[in-house]
Amino acid sequence: MRIKFSESYYYIRLLSLKAELAAIPNVKVGTHCGRTVVRKYTFNSDGGRSFKTYLLDSAQGQKYGKLADRRSEIKREIKSIESSLGKYFIEKMGNCRVKLTGSYLNEDLWKSVGNDENPKIKQGNYYHNGIRMRSRAEVLVAQILDSLGLDYKYEPRIHFGEYDFYPDFLVYLSGLKRCLIIEFFGMSDSEKYNYDLVGKLTVYSEHNLLLNRDVIGISGNKDSMTASDMIHNNIVLVINLLASEALVYN
């Protein structure tokens, strides 16, 4: 049985979406003289509003068209979350705020790293969303992250002092302005692999990253791997924990 994200997580997600929406210009896609255009609205000091019109196939039109699409996506998700949580719960949480805690896996790190940066030649022919992955288990993790609506990067290069690591997944939690790492430990039956793994986890620990809080470890070997429901639940439980700790009353 798969568990769900908590109300605390969705409330933090709701606040994050509303902040993102407020930061996006008020743009809408429409038509003018038979052509698709984007209108960018601004409010005047007297309470009225004016707008500029851009052809959708122009550079500015394409830019604002993408923002218009994003505005629509955010509004749909906000409506869905508000319907799920209910008016009473949202009002009850009105005196809460999100207390952000410092982490090595912060928002700046997320913005600074790329996707699929591991220079090692990947083995196998597993693909997900156009990215070549080294194992069927990694594809499964990516599919679970997609189903949960979580943003992630596959094997980004992260500097830990003198070491460069390429964790399998770096997951971004926008409402908490931080990330968490998901590692698939796929050769747990190998003594050398486990020895190297201890060293890697030690470096994580030196940067105040803890297992089942900042780093989610999924075990497996050449013959077996963790069930998909357990992977899903492990991810959700850790995120629910972080969400519950972040919500505090004023």
pLDDT at residue number 48: 78
- Quick: pLDDT tens for 90-100: 999 988 899 98
Confidence of residue 104 (pLDDT cuts 50, 70, 90): very high
Query: In 46-165, which residue ranges form alpha helices assigned H by DSSP?
Result: 59-85, 87-92, 107-112, 136-147
Q: Are residues 59 and 159 in the same domain?
A: no
Last residue of a domain, one of 54, 79, 98: 98
- Quick: pLDDT tens for 161-210: 999 999 999 999 999 999 999 998 866 666 676 667 788 899 999 999 99
The answer as to whether 1 is a domain residue is: no
Q: Are residues 124 and 229 in the same domain?
A: yes
Could you give the number of structural domains in the chain?
Answer: 2
Q: Are residues 140 and 236 in the same domain?
A: yes
Q: Are residues 124 and 226 in the same domain?
A: yes
Q: Are residues 113 and 77 in the same domain?
A: no
Q: Are residues 117 and 237 in the same domain?
A: yes
The pair of three-digit structure tokens given for residue 128, joined into one six-digit string: 């997900």
Confidence of residue 10 (pLDDT cuts 50, 70, 90): very high
Q: Are residues 144 and 199 in the same domain?
A: yes
Q: Are residues 138 and 236 in the same domain?
A: yes
The pair of three-digit structure tokens given for residue 155, joined into one six-digit string: 């094997």
Q: Are residues 147 and 233 in the same domain?
A: yes
- Quick: pLDDT tens for 34-67: 899 999 999 887 777 888 999 999 999 999 999 9
pLDDT at residue number 27: 95
pLDDT exceeds 80 at position 112: yes
Residue 241, domain extent = 107-249
The answer as to whether 199 is a domain residue is: yes
Instruction: Provide the mean pLDDT of the chain.
Output: 91
C-beta neighbour count of 216 within 10 angstroms: 22
Last residue of a domain, one of 43, 71, 98: 98
pLDDT exceeds 70 at position 122: no
Look at 38-47, 123-132, 219-228 and tell me which has the smallest mean pLDDT.
Answer: 219-228
Cβ–Cβ under 8 Å, residues 153 and 168: no
Q: Please state the length of the chain.
A: 250
The answer as to whether 2 is a domain residue is: no
Q: Are residues 181 and 61 in the same domain?
A: no
The answer as to whether 239 is a domain residue is: yes
Closest by CA to 176, choosing from 56, 25, 53, 16, is: 16
Q: Are residues 78 and 112 in the same domain?
A: no
Last residue of a domain, one of 49, 66, 98: 98
The answer as to whether 216 is a domain residue is: yes
CA separation, residue 35 to residues 38, 54, 57, 172 (Å) = 10, 10, 10, 38
Q: Are residues 140 and 191 in the same domain?
A: yes
The answer as to whether 202 is a domain residue is: yes
Strand order in the sheet with 49-55: 26-32, 35-43, 49-55
The answer as to whether 203 is a domain residue is: yes
pLDDT exceeds 90 at position 107: yes
